[in-house]
Structure 1
Amino acid sequence: MVKKKGILSIVSLLLVSSLFLSGCSGEKTGSSEAKGDNKTITLLVEGGSPAFKVAKETAAEFKEETGYTVKIESVPYTGVYDKLKAEVASQAGAFDVATIDILWFPALAGGLLPLEDLMTDDLKNDLFPGLVEGGSYQNKVYGMPVWTNAKNLIYRKDLFEDEKNKADFQAKYGYELHPPTTWDEYSDVAKFFTKDTDNDGKVDMYGTTVFGANNGDAVASWLDHAAQAGAKPLVVGDKGKVLVNTKPYVDSLQFLVDLLKKDQSVPSGALEMASAETSELFWNGKLAMMLAWGHFYVPSNDSKQSKVAGKVGSAPMIGGGAGIGAVPGPWYQVIPSSSKKQEIAKEYLNFIYEKNELFMKTLGVAARKSVFERYSTQQGYEHLRPLMTTLSGPQTQNRPAIKEWQEIESEALIPAVQFALSGEKTPQEALDWAADVIKDLLPPQ
C-alpha cells in the first residue's frame, strides 16, 4: 500500500513479502500470433508480489486451456514501470501482459491497449466504485483490476473490551469506549491509550501513529483525511485549479499535527514513520490503533508475526465532516499495444479475472465485490466487511490521473507534510508553499 503506495511500501513485512526480489527473466516474444509459431505470452510482474504468485500458480492451467505457455518476467517494483516505459518508447513487443500500480496509467496509457470490449456491464457491476475509473485515462479503459485496498481502522480489541478501560474512558470523556468513527473520537481514544503501562516514568504505549516519512505513504495517509474533510477532487481540480491549500487540506493536516504536537498521542519520531514502522509497532503491542491497509489485519492475527495475535479487530476508516473517505491502492493487468499477441493476452486477462479469489487467498484482498462478499463470512477475513464500507465510502476517491502526479507528490506534497509535522511551517504555510510548487509543475491552462 511511494514510491511505494499503500500496500507496496510495507508488504515486505506481510505474508506476501519479498517485493524487492527479482526473478528470472522471461524470453521476449516477437513472432506473429497468426502464424502460431511461438505459443508463448510474456508477463511482466513485480517479483515476490501477489501478481507473481498467482501467475505461477495458474500458468499450467492456462496452458492446458489455451496451449500457450506463460513466461513470467519478474523485477522489483520500480523495474516494472521502467521496463514498460521503455516498451512504450521502443514498441519492441517484449511483453504481452503486465500488472501495474494505478499511479502509472497517466505515463503509460499512450502505449497500452484499450480494453473497453472486455469491460462488460456484469464485470463492472462486480467492482467497487472508482475501480474502473482508476484503470482509465482520458475516458478510455486500459486496466483490468486484480485487487483493491484502502486504509481501515485496525485496533487492539482486548484493550477496547477491557472493563476497567471502558469505565475509565466513560468517566473521562463521557461516552462509551468503542472503535472511533470520527476525528474527535479518534483523538480521544488515542490520548486515552497513550500511557506508561509499566510505571517506569516513560510512555511505552501510544494510541496511534502519524505518517510523516519521506515517501508517498505519508501523502496518501494525509489525503485520506482531506477526503474525509470534504476534498473532492483531490489536489488538482478542473482546468488545473490547485486545491491543495484550501480548507479541507489545511484542516486535515492540522488534525495530524495536533495528534503529534498537541495531544502527543503518537510517537515523536513521526517523520520516520509510515506503514512499515506503524505495523511493526502495532504487532509488537506498542500501539492501541493504526490506520493501515485493510489486509494488515491478516498478519496482525498471525502469532508468528504478531505479539498481539488473536487480540485484533478491524473497523471502517474514520470519517470527517464529509463522511468516510480514503485513497484506494488498486493494481491492474494491462496489455501493451505493442504486443503481437493481443487476442490471447485478452484471454489471459479474462482468465485471471475469473481467478480473482486467488488474490484474496494470497494477499487478503481482491477486486471483485462478489469475492469480498464470499470471504467476508470466513474466519480470518473479518477485515473485509469494514474494508467494503471504506471502499464504498462517500468520499473514497482516486488520486488525480495526471502525468505530473509523481512530481507533485515528491516535490510538493511530501515536503509540505514534513514541514507541518516538524513545526517548520504551519499547515496553511506548508500548503501555500506546496500550491506554488504545483502551479509551476502543471502545464499552462
Structure 2
Amino acid sequence: MQKKIICTMITTALVMSLFTGCGTKESGSNTNTAKKDDYITVLVQGGSPAFEATQKTADAFKEQTGYEVKVESVPYTGVYDKLKADITASTGAYDVATIDILWMAEFAQGLLPIDDLMTDEVVNDLMPGMLAGGQIDDVNYGMPVWTNCKILMYRTDLFEDPDEMAAFKSEYGYELAPPTTWQEYRDVAKFFTRDTNGDGETDLYGTGIFGKTDGDTACCWLEESVQAGARPVVLGDDGEVLVNQKPYVDALTFLSDIVNEDKSCPPGAMEMASGEVSEMFYQGNLAMMLNWGHFYLAANNPETSKVAGKVATAPHLSGSAGVGAIPGPWYQVIPESSKKQEIAKEYVKFMYDNNELIMQNLGTAARKSLFEEYGKKEGYEFLADIQATLDGPATQNRAPIVEWNLIETEALVPAIQQALLKEKTPQEALDDAAEMIKDLLN
C-alpha cells in the first residue's frame, strides 16, 4: 500500500511539473517552482515513530507539493518546551508539531483549528476517544497520529504449564488463566512470586507496579480508578475535585496492597515506571505486567527479550465499572503563528494518509482500518486487546485542562508514592492531593 501511495504521489508530481507556474504556494507548488523558503518545519520527539515516519515521507511530500520537510527532533520534554516558547512568543518557528494529549488543553489557544480536515471519512476511521482528545470546546486542533493503552502481557510458559495450573487450582480453587478482575490479578501475582533457584532470594515476581516520579505512575493508578467507577477523571463537570472519593481510594488501596501486603512486585517500585517494569519482564523476572500495548513487539523479539515466543496478551483488567484504561494518544497540530498554514494543513492530511508508517514503526496507529488490517498479521495479535480495552466501558481520557501537568506532578504522583511507601493511608494521601489540586486550580 505504501509503495502504491508513493508511486501515485510521484506520478502526480511529474504531471504537475508540465504545468510550471500553475501552482501557488498556498495550494501546493512543484519542485520546479519551489523557492528557497518553500519548506515547512516539523517539530517531533527524536527517535519516536513520528520522527521515523516524518523522515520516510519527506521526499514523497516534496514531490507532491514542492515543499521540503525540515525536521527538528528533540527529547520528549523538549517538544513541550520548544512549542510552548514558540506559541508564547508567536515566532512562527514551527509549522507542524507532534504532541502528547497531555499538552492539548494548554496549547489550544495558540493552535490553528483544523475542523475542515476532519471529514466524515477521517472521523469514521479513527480509534475510539481519539477525536475527543484532539478537541477543546468542540473545536478540532489535533489530527490523531497514534493511540495506545496498557494491556495485560503474560508468560505462556508459566500460565500454560500443567504443573502450575494444577498447583494454582489446588491453592485458589479455580483455573489458572490470564486475570480479568482485580482479585484474580492479586491471586496470580502472589502465586507466581517465588524463589526459583533455591538461593533464598525471590527472583520471580508476579507483576510490577509503577511508583516512579513519572506520568506513567499517575496513569497506572487512574486506570484502576476508572475501572472502579471514577467518572469523569479527577475533576467533575462542575469543577469539583474527585480524587479522594471511593473509586480513587479503592484503586490506590489495590496497588498499595500488591506492594506492601502481598509483596508480589519487585522491591524498588518507587524507581519503576513502564520502561523499568518492561525490562524486568523481558529478562524473565515477572510473570505478567500491565503495560503499553506496543511493548509486546519487544517482548517477543529474541534480540530484546529472554522470554520471546512465550508472551501473549489480554485486555486490561475489569473492575466494578468494567474494562477500562487511560489512552495515550498523540496528535499533529499547527501553531497559529505558522506563516505557511495551508501547506501545513496539507502536510497534516498527508501524514494521516500515510498513517501506516506509524503502525509499522510503533505497532499501533490512529486508524481503525489499520488496526483491523494489521491485527490479522502474525506478530500483531496484541492489537485486538488494545481495541477491546479502548472500547471498554470505563475507558476515558484525562481531564482536558491547562493545569493537568501540574496536577499530575504536584498532587497525584506524590499521593500515590506516599501510599505505596505507607507514609499515609490511601485516603489521607488523596485527601491531601485534593486540597493541593484546589490550590493549583485557584
Same fold (TM over 0.5): yes
2:121 corresponding residue in structure 1: 122
1:4 corresponding residue in structure 2: none
Q: Partner amino acid for 1:431?
A: L
Q: Partner amino acid for 1:169?
A: F
State which structure, 1 or 2, has the greater radius of gyration over its C-alpha atoms.
2
2:292 corresponding residue in structure 1: 293
Separation in 2, partners of 1:47, 1:274: 20
What's the secondary structure of 1:248's corresponding residue?
A: helix
2:87 corresponding residue in structure 1: 88
Q: Report the alpha carbon displacement of residue 84 of structure 1 after superposing the two structures with TM.
A: 1.1
Q: Which moved more, 1:37-46 or 1:349-358?
A: 37-46
What's the secondary structure of 1:99's corresponding residue?
A: strand
Q: Partner amino acid for 1:176?
A: E
1:53 corresponding residue in structure 2: 52
Q: Partner amino acid for 2:414?
A: P
What's the secondary structure of 2:238's corresponding residue?
A: helix
Separation in 2, partners of 1:201, 1:87: 57
Separation in 1, partners of 2:198, 2:437: 48
The answer (yes or no) to whether the contact 1:227–1:396 under 8 Å persists in 2 is yes
Can you list the C-alpha shifts for 1:360-395, whole angstroms capped at 9, x where unaligned? 110111011110110001111111011110111111
Q: Report the alpha carbon displacement of residue 138 of structure 1 after superposing the two structures with TM.
A: 2.2
2:242 corresponding residue in structure 1: 243
The answer (yes or no) to whether the contact 1:33–1:340 under 8 Å persists in 2 is no
Can you list the C-alpha shifts for 1:26-54, whole angstroms capped at 9, x where unaligned? xxxxxx85897422111111111111110
Q: Partner amino acid for 1:227?
A: V
2:43 corresponding residue in structure 1: 44
Q: Report the alpha carbon displacement of residue 349 of structure 1 after superposing the two structures with TM.
A: 0.9
1:159 corresponding residue in structure 2: 158
Separation in 1, partners of 2:356, 2:362: 10
Separation in 1, partners of 2:73, 2:272: 29
1:370 corresponding residue in structure 2: 369
2:339 corresponding residue in structure 1: 340
Separation in 1, partners of 2:399, 2:89: 27
1:329 corresponding residue in structure 2: 328
What's the secondary structure of 2:153's corresponding residue?
A: strand
Q: Which moved more, 1:63-72 or 1:414-423?
A: 63-72
Can you list the C-alpha shifts for 1:150-200, whole angstroms capped at 9, x where unaligned? 000001011111000111111111111110000011011101101111122
Separation in 2, partners of 1:73, 1:284: 35
Q: Report the alpha carbon displacement of residue 121 of structure 1 after superposing the two structures with TM.
A: 1.6
Can you list the C-alpha shifts for 1:315-352, whole angstroms capped at 9, x where unaligned? 10011110011111110001111112111111111111
What's the secondary structure of 1:435's corresponding residue?
A: helix
1:78-227 equivalences under 5 Å are 78-227=77-226
Q: Report the alpha carbon displacement of residue 310 of structure 1 after superposing the two structures with TM.
A: 0.5
What's the secondary structure of 2:179's corresponding residue?
A: coil
Q: Partner amino acid for 2:407?
A: I
Say if 2:361 is the partner of 1:397: no
1:393-432 equivalences under 5 Å are 393-432=392-431
1:20 corresponding residue in structure 2: none
Q: Partner amino acid for 1:46?
A: Q
Separation in 2, partners of 1:187, 1:320: 13
Q: Which moved more, 1:124-133 or 1:281-290?
A: 124-133
Q: Report the alpha carbon displacement of residue 268 of structure 1 after superposing the two structures with TM.
A: 2.2
Separation in 2, partners of 1:61, 1:308: 39
Separation in 1, partners of 2:41, 2:262: 53
The answer (yes or no) to whether the contact 1:240–1:442 under 8 Å persists in 2 is no
Q: Partner amino acid for 1:378?
A: K
1:271-282 equivalences under 5 Å are 271-282=270-281
Instruction: Give TM-score scaled by structure 1 length.
Output: 0.91
What's the secondary structure of 1:100's corresponding residue?
A: strand
Q: Report the alpha carbon displacement of residue 301 of structure 1 after superposing the two structures with TM.
A: 0.5
Separation in 2, partners of 1:439, 1:305: 44
What's the secondary structure of 1:406's corresponding residue?
A: helix
Separation in 1, partners of 2:216, 2:419: 16
Separation in 1, partners of 2:380, 2:306: 19
Separation in 2, partners of 1:245, 1:224: 15
Q: Report the alpha carbon displacement of residue 239 of structure 1 after superposing the two structures with TM.
A: 2.1
What's the secondary structure of 1:240's corresponding residue?
A: coil
1:251-266 equivalences under 5 Å are 251-266=250-265
Residue segments in structure 1 that go unaligned for 5+ positions in a row: 1-31
Q: Report the alpha carbon displacement of residue 420 of structure 1 after superposing the two structures with TM.
A: 0.2
What's the secondary structure of 1:286's corresponding residue?
A: coil
Separation in 1, partners of 2:89, 2:286: 49
Separation in 1, partners of 2:89, 2:198: 64
Say if 2:71 is the partner of 1:72: yes
Q: Partner amino acid for 1:164?
A: D
What's the secondary structure of 2:151's corresponding residue?
A: strand
Query: RMSD value over aligned CA atoms?
Result: 1.4
Residue identity over aligned pairs, in percent, reads: 61
1:436 corresponding residue in structure 2: 435
Residue segments in structure 2 that go unaligned for 5+ positions in a row: 1-24
1:230 corresponding residue in structure 2: 229
Can you list the C-alpha shifts for 1:376-431, whole angstroms capped at 9, x where unaligned? 01111111011110111111111101111111111111110010000000000000
The answer (yes or no) to whether the contact 1:45–1:74 under 8 Å persists in 2 is yes
Separation in 2, partners of 1:200, 1:373: 47
Separation in 1, partners of 2:137, 2:412: 24
Separation in 2, partners of 1:58, 1:401: 31
Separation in 1, partners of 2:207, 2:419: 18
Separation in 2, partners of 1:330, 1:303: 28
Separation in 1, partners of 2:386, 2:321: 18
2:309 corresponding residue in structure 1: 310
Q: Which moved more, 1:178-187 or 1:264-273?
A: 264-273
Separation in 1, partners of 2:229, 2:62: 49
The answer (yes or no) to whether the contact 1:327–1:399 under 8 Å persists in 2 is yes
Q: Report the alpha carbon displacement of residue 139 of structure 1 after superposing the two structures with TM.
A: 2.0
What's the secondary structure of 2:241's corresponding residue?
A: coil
Separation in 2, partners of 1:124, 1:231: 27
What's the secondary structure of 1:74's corresponding residue?
A: strand
The answer (yes or no) to whether the contact 1:183–1:319 under 8 Å persists in 2 is yes
